């Protein structure tokens, strides 16, 4: 593992402590995902490292901060699609 991988991993791990707005959180996740792709395209990280980072980024524990989960769940349950 190189320093680029470790830095990206640290930044992904910091998402679980994020306290900003949902839009700020979503933007941060999107930007991190794009940075992982760019680092892979520039050969800064290997294929397996990219997959590990994307898996970690997409895992349930990083998907939505706890303070937003209930509101999104409630909204989904009240959506017309689920009627």
Domain ranges within the chain, ordered by starting residue? 3-82
CB neighbour list of residue 56: distance below 8 Å, 6 or more residues apart = 9, 12, 13, 62
Are 50 and 36 within 8 A, CB to CB? yes
pLDDT attached to residue 71 = 55
Count of CA atoms in the C-beta half-sphere (13 A) of 81: 4
Tell me, what's the pLDDT at 62?
55
pTM for this model (two decimals)? 0.68
List the pLDDT tens digit at each of the 83 positions of the chain: 678 899 999 998 888 887 777 788 888 888 999 999 999 898 888 999 998 988 888 875 555 665 555 555 555 555 545 44
């Amino acid at each position: 593992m190189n320093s680029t991988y470790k830095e990206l991993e640290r930044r992904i791990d910091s998402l679980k402590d994020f306290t900003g707005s949902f839009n700020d959180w979503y933007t941060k996740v999107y930007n991190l995902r794009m940075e992982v792709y760019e680092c892979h395209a520039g050969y800064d990280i290997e294929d397996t490292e990219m997959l590990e980072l994307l898996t970690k980024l997409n895992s349930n524990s990083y998907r939505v901060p706890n303070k937003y989960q209930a509101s999104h769940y409630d909204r989904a349950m009240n959506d017309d699609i689920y009627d």
